[in-house]
Amino acid sequence: MHQTIRLPRCAGVATASLACLFAFTSASGSVPSETRGVLQEWVKVKALISQEREEWATEKALIADTIELLNAEKEMLAETIDSRKDAAEAAANERTELSLKKESLDADAATLGEVLTGYESEMTAWVPSLPALLQEELAPLIRRLPTEENTSSNAGIGRRLQSVVGILSQVDKFNSSVTYRKELRDSGEATKETDTLYFGLAYAVYSDAEGSSAGYGKPGPEGWTWEAAPEAAADIKELIAVYKNETPAKYVSIPLSIQ
């Protein structure tokens, strides 16, 4: 039983051409050089087509991988952009909060500045009434206070507050204790070294080592004033000796005048 095989038209033409070629070859006994050249070109074309297909498959796979990589990078960039947006919003909110805080602090600083100005004015007025030794100890802070020549202070709020608090703290400490100091005092005839006891900022007594020159002092509007008290020299000298633990403790009467 014979089956009929149908070939495409081009295949039929090629078959027919090959049949003719074989018939011609059989008849002539050799392949013409033109036909041999055509066959060689055809083989080359087939090989080139196969190579192009392989290269295209490789390039296609590379393109697919590149697309996948770019998509991944795109997602990463999108996430980074979202993160930067969130950070920018957070920074903007923080700037707003800081701006509000600054406004509040500026207002507080202005109020504090007014309070400090009042304290500085009062201190400038009563600093001269402090004992000379205390004024010397406070000199670095007192120099920061505004004066009549310089009513405005270029110092910051913090420095001004430090000065005011420092002065008040040392004055309060001095006023709440008994302070002993050795001082040089002019007795009219000569300058002598005396032992001086300050009872806060209210009163003080002094005596030299021999007890020949003694007296008391008290604050005034323009500073402390000192008066000799020869009638009480022995008692004042004994009081100072008790304070210095040079004699047993006991009650000692001294002249007292407090305004």
pLDDT tens figures, 23-44: 444 444 455 677 888 888 888 8
The DSSP result for 84-104, as a single string, is: HHHHHHHHHHHHHHHHHHHHH
Paired with 222 in beta bridges are: none
100-144 pLDDT tens trace: 888 888 888 888 888 888 888 888 888 888 999 999 999 999 988
What dihedral angle (degrees, nearest 10) is formed by the CA atoms of 213, 176, 165, 112?
Answer: -120
136-146 pLDDT tens trace: 999 999 988 87
- Determine contact, residues 164/120, Cβ cutoff 8 Å: yes
pLDDT band at 201 (very low <50, low <70, confident <90, very high): very high
In the DSSP assignment, the letter for residue 5 is P
What dihedral angle (degrees, nearest 10) is formed by the CA atoms of 134, 136, 141, 146?
Answer: 100
Q: Which two tokens stand for residue 196?
A: 């001086």
- Determine contact, residues 216/257, Cβ cutoff 8 Å: yes
Residue 163 burial (10 A CB sphere; 0-12, 13-18, 19+): buried
Quote the mean pLDDT of the chain.
81
| CB-side neighbour CA atoms (13 Å) of 24 | 9
Beta sheet of 178-186, edge-to-edge order: 178-186, 191-199, 203-208, 214-218, 225-228
